[in-house]
Amino acid sequence: MSQVAVRVKDIILNIEHPQAIKFGGYDAIGTIFFTKLDDNVPLEKLWTNINNTARPIFSFLKNYPLVNEIVLIMSSYDKGIYNTGGFTNYYFPILNIWNHPHHNALPTIQGLLDDSSKQDYKQTENGLAVRQVEDEGTDIDLGNYFKEQIQIKPLLPYEGDTIIEGRFGNSIRFGSTNISENILEENKNRWSSEEGKTGDPILIIRNGQLEDTDGKGWVHAIEDIDDDASSIYLTSNQRLKSFIPASIYQKSFGANLVQPENTNTLLTDPPLNVISEPEIEEQEISDEEEPVLNSPPPVIEEENLEETVVPEKVAYYDVAPSENNEIDKDTVVELDEKSIKSIAEYKLTAEELNKPLGNSYTPSPPPINIVETYKGFDIIKTNIGYYEIVGDPGSKQGSLEEYVYNDIGGGGMSDNRLSGIKETIDDSIEDFGGGGSSFFIEPITSVQDNTDLSGGNAGYGGL
């Protein structure tokens, strides 16, 4: 299958195109109309040949050409292969005529309207044509509304880079850290610093390049996180030098905010609310007119509101299931589930519930749930899942029980394992049998009279 280079003359990009319905409706989007490069048709001449058409060869990549860009076409079977055995032309992405992402249009010489446009295409020493637009713009027809932007620059590549560039200064670079003496100083980038090493991966997504450029669109550029419109840097071991964020607060959204003052300044020297007196214009009083002095308005005495007297044996509540929000001794009140649960938990009797208001009542705490009694010691489980032994109910002084209670229960020792608290009990019993029972203090039996007060030490016997 041979491939032929052709020049794009028109393209269907929406259903409103005059030829869209004829070539399949929505299925025709992306279809181009072309002429062969040998057909040196002027751009200003109306082109009416609609037989030369081609469809995109790739379905997963949408890289539609502009008018006057060059593409390669090939012929192959289409969807009518089983009916008519027909062939259709397919086109590849645009040829990289000018090695530039913005456009690669190559108009006919007859299509250039004036000498200034022809001067945009220069010849190098070896005879190859290069395009360097140095004036305000060009007269190349690139479509119905696509306008050439001569300040758009291609990205400068580094060894091993994979770069995807759009036509408007947006790009994705799959690059790495580049540290080498062979890189010119003006070509060094900000993500390649001494902290990393050559080959550390980085992915840079850029949407819009620096607007204020030198206007030389053929000179390559490097991403600049401070000057590009917006960027995403996915780094590995890189460090961006001298990075200045727009803001970490609302200013990053372009809001015109007033900078808050320093907190210490606000505390030590708060701003004063200065109340300015209104300016009063002085009126000149003639000798003929005497000023009229108005007496102050009479003071209206406030009416004394009668105090509402509440009966002694009537209690008022915000909410009550009775009329007029009154509850007396004969009022029947329906208790909610929480109140019923509290009465059941504290085992309140009817006598206790019917005590007059104002009398204090301290309910006994709910019963302790004993998990297990181990070697005479009751073990409970707290509401946070720890095991403890119940406090000493009153053991005999100097006994094993008193020692264990003071060693474990008195010290607030707990364990999140039942086996752990049992091991602690066993250790305390073992300590008690090994002579560890000297924890208690015997009562004082006598006080010697030979106390040496001058030394500041008092001796007590029987301790």
Q: Is residue 412 part of a domain?
A: yes
- Give yes or no: residues 145 and 156 share one domain: no
Domain count, the chain: 3
- Give yes or no: residues 69 and 174 share one domain: no
What is the DSSP annotation of 123-166? Answer: E-TTS-EEE---SS------SSS----TT--PBPP-TT-EEEE-
User: What are the residues facing 69 on neighbouring strands?
Assistant: 105
Angle of CA points 141, 144, 148, to nearest 5°: 50
- Give yes or no: residues 17 and 160 share one domain: no
- Give yes or no: residues 142 and 167 share one domain: no
Sequence-ordered list of residues with C-beta below 8 angstroms from that of 189, at least 6 positions apart, any chain:
158, 178, 222, 223
Between CA 152 and CA 221 the distance in angstroms is 9
Q: Is residue 213 part of a domain?
A: yes
With beta carbons less than 8 A apart as the criterion, state whether 79 and 42 touch: no
Residue 57 pLDDT: 94
φ/ψ (deg, to 5) at 292: -100, 120
With beta carbons less than 8 A apart as the criterion, state whether 386 and 415 touch: yes
Between CA 389 and CA 376 the distance in angstroms is 10
Residue 399 pLDDT: 84
- Helix, strand, coil shares of the chain, percent, nearest 5, are 15, 20, 70
Q: E strands within 42-132?
A: 53-56, 70-77, 87-91, 121-123, 129-131
Q: Is residue 163 part of a domain?
A: yes
Q: Which amino acid is at 307?
A: E
Cα torsion angle, 66, 69, 72, 78, sign? positive
For 148, counting Cβ atoms within 10 Å of its Cβ (0-12 exposed, 13-18 middle, 19+ buried), the class is middle
Q: Is residue 29 part of a domain?
A: yes
- Give yes or no: residues 134 and 20 share one domain: yes
Mark which of 149, 180, 204 sits at the end of a domain: 149
Q: Which residues of the chain fall short of a pLDDT of 70? A: 1, 39-49, 109-138, 246-368, 409-414, 435-463
CA-to-CA separations, 10 to 134, 346, 404, in angstroms, rounded: 28, 90, 98
With beta carbons less than 8 A apart as the criterion, state whether 231 and 224 touch: no
Q: Is residue 98 part of a domain?
A: yes
CA-to-CA separations, 324 to 233, 315, 327, in angstroms, rounded: 70, 11, 9
Q: Residue 437 is encoded by which pair of tokens?
A: 């029972």
Q: Is residue 340 part of a domain?
A: no
- Give yes or no: residues 40 and 113 share one domain: yes
Domain that holds residue 30: 1-149
* H helices, E strands: number in the chain: 6, 16
Between CA 100 and CA 151 the distance in angstroms is 12
Q: Is residue 47 part of a domain?
A: yes
Mean pLDDT of the chain: 74
Which among 121, 123, 58 is positioned nearest to 93, based on CA atoms? Answer: 58
- Give yes or no: residues 122 and 225 share one domain: no
Per DSSP, 366 falls in state: P
CA-to-CA separations, 362 to 339, 359, 367, in angstroms, rounded: 16, 10, 15
In the block, residue with structure tokens 């998990």: 371
Q: Is residue 116 part of a domain?
A: yes
- Give yes or no: residues 40 and 62 share one domain: yes
- Give yes or no: residues 15 and 58 share one domain: yes
- Give yes or no: residues 97 and 174 share one domain: no
In the block, residue with structure tokens 């025709």: 28
Per DSSP, 423 falls in state: H
Which among 132, 140, 62 is positioned nearest to 94, based on CA atoms? Answer: 62
CA-to-CA separations, 32 to 4, 127, 316, 402, 451, in angstroms, rounded: 14, 31, 87, 100, 119
Mark which of 120, 149, 178 sits at the end of a domain: 149
Residue 421 pLDDT: 84
Residue 96 pLDDT: 93
Mark which of 220, 242, 264 sits at the end of a domain: 242
Count CB atoms within 10 A of the CB of residue 220: 14
- Give yes or no: residues 144 and 3 share one domain: yes
- Decide: helix, strand or coil at residue 234: strand
Cα torsion angle, 380, 382, 386, 392, sign? negative
- Give yes or no: residues 136 and 1 share one domain: yes
Instruction: Tell me the pLDDT tens digit for each residue of 112-165.
Output: 555 555 555 555 444 445 556 555 556 788 999 999 888 899 999 999 999 999
